[in-house]
Structure 1
Amino acid sequence: MSHPQNVPPAGGQQGINPDVIRQEIARLLQPDADQPDQGNQLFRLRSAADWMERASKRPIPKMLFGEFWFQGELCILFADSNLGKSILAVQVGDSISRNEQIGPFRLEAGRQRILYFDFELADKQFEARYSSNYNYHYSFTNHFLRAELDPMADVPKTFANFEDFLNHQLENLVVSTGATVLIIDNLTYLRSETERAKDALPLMKHLKSLKSKHNLSILALAHTPKRDAAHPITRNDLQGSKMLMNFCDSAFAIGESAKDKSIRYVKQVKQRNTEEVYGSGNICLFTISKPYNFLQYEFMGYGREWEHLRQPEKEDREALRTQAAELKLQGKSFREIAAEMGITHTKAERLLKEGQ
């Protein structure tokens, strides 16, 4: 009788030799062990100790825009339309290209080459923002590169669709320019239906792959659907939020102050390389200004988000009390009521007390 390969009989009888098993496990856990070619592998298997050893040799992530965005991250900046996402993105890119931080937000990574994909503005619109009445242009550094779509370009027959051609050309520019920081303004042009999970998934996989392959830091701008300004900004406000949030490393958002329309606030929504520093209780306040030839966010200080949310009218509050009372009659807890109404559990408790 033949025996299974690599499992010799123990004690003269067919069986499993513990030493062989231990040797095989040790072989599999060797990071550079020779293994038969089985094509592409989904998982990379190493011991936890080996992962730690390898990670220890990589540099510690450095800040690009304070705690909002770190080197090596795929970060999403989202906001409603016309709140100034592009203004802040260009300002952040310019600061990194100069190695000059914005306000109190640390820049630790040093000067980087920026590749800014602008799918929003035409060149004349861009000029208007960064000049004084189309004269006295702002002097960007040679480390800040801007790309926009050529409307006359045709999709070659070798590509299945426009999106595949776009992704291919995007990667070509990353390689040819040597850029290490990528800013995409905005995600809508990479995938037309980011609010649908099936379309958001390949988009985020492509960006993650691009980031890892070329050791990039990516800031991707995204829209929010119209939101209720009486509620704090959450990750659920991002268009296509669940899939996009699952795949990004960090995210921050811009909100408009309800008490002063000229004020913007910036808030952390997701973070991995740091603790939450700029959450609801410590948002960053800005005004948008143009001192001479550079449209920019000017840092004002810090605040609490609730101070800048729209206060409900008397009729609105009565409707909220009625809704909370109905949910309470259904046996729901304060937290369950809060989750269903999109408010905090303390506010839910307060509404119920007011209705008593």
Structure 2
Amino acid sequence: MTFNPPLGAHMQSQQPQQQVSALDTELNQPEDLLNVKTANHWMEEASTRPVPKMLFDKFWFEGELCILFADSNLGKSILAVQIGNSINTGIPISPFKIQSQAQPILYCDFELTDKQFESRYSNDYQDHYAFGTDFYRAELNPDSEPPQGFNDFDEFIIASLERSIVQTGVKVIIVDNLTYLRNETEQSKNALSLMKHLKALKNRHGLSILALAHTPKRDLSQQITANDLQGSKMLMNFCDSAFTIGQSCADKDLRYLKQIKQRNTEQVYGYTNICLCRVNKPFNFLQFEFVNYGSEVDHLRKASDRLSEAHMEQAVQLKLQGKTLRDIAKEMGISYQKVDRLIKAHTAKA
């Protein structure tokens, strides 16, 4: 079969539709791995589907498998519940936009107990925040065992997740976090299998998925990149978008949001335009509150701070070995008074 080169947009638009259909029928069979159609036919099919809407501003769009990653204790779960509640109510998290209508959501919480969740969304366990009646939360049943027909617990979790999606009829799910979907999930060797499972679910049910992931300990003097996500190469290849939470070294109470990967939009919230936020609880809802925009370089650890940090660690380790301040000072080539200050600073920081 011969394909002729395009002769111009006006010529292409005049191609009979039945010729395109015949070509598709001839090229594709049910057992084929590749679905081959003309570029024009792909464009025509795509034009019948809605334009993806923002679920959380430029960070996450409808139909995307998105990853939110950060170090421990920076508020991934706090932000994820807040995003989920925004999607469920249709009310944006100021100043971030949301374009989708209010809709049901499934939050798979593999991090918190129900009591810990209650603590975050109540006022001292009283005056509970009223989530929507179609905001669904799931947690693991510790007594459940895989029935016959499943090779391992991982397959059982994926199947259970799919059943919950069908039962609730949701199109938006949040998975907190990836570690519990597969053993050693965030290591590179398992990342490909995990992302295939999630992507298959997304395609099969027309879902939008936000998956939370951890980062290993990183150099806080360097900007956050895709390489800071464990198993980054595979995870980044299979996700549609990704963003991160960083901690400000200029103000320990500040967090910042930064786009890492995007396909449906340009990068708006990058190195020179991060979103600065604080975690606050005005009454009964723990949340991120927007403060300002900024540049990431202003919130990275300075080289001199990194050196002091290293000195603190060294002094403490030598102290734990039973050495005196003067012994430590001699080994480190500094005064024993400075050794004392380093150890006290480390203790205060801890």
Offset from partner CA, 1:104-159 (integer Å, 9 cap, x none): 11110111211000000000000000001100000001121000001111111221
Provide closer, same or farther for how the CA distance between residues 191 and 315 of structure 1 changes in structure 2, counting only shifts above 3 A.
closer
In structure 2, the residue matched to 1:85 is: 76
CA positional deviation for 1:27: 7.7
CA distance in 2, matches of 1:240, 1:72: 23
Q: Does residue 282 of the first structure (1) align with residue 278 of the second (2)?
A: no
Relative to 1, partners in 2 of residues 1:184 and 1:315: Cα closer, same or farther, differing over 3 Å?
A: closer
1:346 aligns with: none
Q: Which amino acid aligns with 1:206?
A: H
> Please, what is the CA RMSD of the aligned residues?
2.1
Q: Tell me which of 301, 311, 317 is aligned to 2:292.
A: 301
C-alpha change, 1:202 and 1:314, in structure 2 (3 Å) is: closer
- For normalisation by structure 2, the TM-score amounts to 0.81
Specify whether residues 135 and 208 from structure 1 end up closer, same or farther in structure 2 by C-alpha distance, changes over 3 A only: same
Of 107, 111, 126, 1:120 maps to 111
Query: Is 1:237 aligned to 2:228, yes or no?
Result: yes
| 1:41 is aligned to 2:17 | no
The CA deviation at 1:195 is: 3.6
Residue 133, structure 1, aligned to residue 124, structure 2: yes
Match of 1:30 in 2: 22
Shift of 1:35: 7.3
Superposition pairs of residues 159-178 of structure 1, within 5 angstroms? 159-178=150-169
Report if the CA contact (8 A) 2:179-2:186 is conserved: no
- In structure 2, what is the equivalent of residue 326 of structure 1? none
Q: Which amino acid aligns with 1:66?
A: D
User: What do residues 152-186 of structure 1 show as CA deviations (whole Å, max 9, x unaligned)?
Assistant: 11111221100001100100000110001010000
Asked if structure 1 preserves the Cα contact closer than 8 Å seen for 2:74 and 2:246, the reply is yes
Find the counterpart in structure 1 of residue 255 from structure 2: 264
Residues 236-258 of structure 1, C-alpha deviations (whole Å, 9 max, x = no match): 00011000000000000000000
Secondary structure in 1 matching 2:179: helix
Q: Say if 1:36 and 1:90 are closer, same or farther in 2 by CA, change over 3 A.
A: closer
Deviation at 1:215, TM superposition (A): 0.6
Q: 1:315/1:245 Cα in 2 relative to 1: closer, same or farther (>3 Å)?
A: closer
CA distance in structure 1 between the partners assigned to 2:28 and 2:296 by the alignment:
57
Counterpart residue identity of residue 264, structure 2: N
Change in Cα spacing, 1:31 to 1:64, as seen in structure 2 (3 Å) is: farther
Gaps of 5+ in 1: 1-20, 320-356
Q: Give matches, 1:142-221, under 5 Å.
A: 142-221=133-212
Between the aligned residues of both structures, percent identity stands at 58
**C-alpha contact (below 8 Å) 1:235/1:269 kept by paired residues:** yes
Total equivalences in the alignment: 295
Please report how far the alpha carbon of residue 33 of structure 1 lies from its aligned counterpart in structure 2 after TM superposition.
1.7
Query: In the alignment, which residue of structure 2 is the partner of 1:102?
Result: 93
**TM-aligned CA deviation for residue 196 of structure 1:** 3.0
Deviation at 1:34, TM superposition (A): 6.1
Query: How far apart are the structure 2 equivalents of 1:195 and 1:66?
Result: 26
Please tell me whether the aligned partners of residues 20 and 41 of structure 2 are also in contact (alpha carbons under 8 angstroms).
no
CA offsets, 1:41-80, max 9 Å, x none?
Answer: 2110000110010111111110000000001100000000
Structure 1 residue 264: Cα displacement: 0.2
Separation of aligned partners in 2, 1:205 and 1:294: 34
Unaligned segments of structure 2, at least 5 residues:
4-17, 311-350
Map 1:300-319 onto structure 2 (within 5 A). 300-313=291-304, 316=307
Quote how far apart the aligned CAs of 1:40 are.
3.2
Q: 1:57 aligns with which of 16, 25, 48?
A: 48
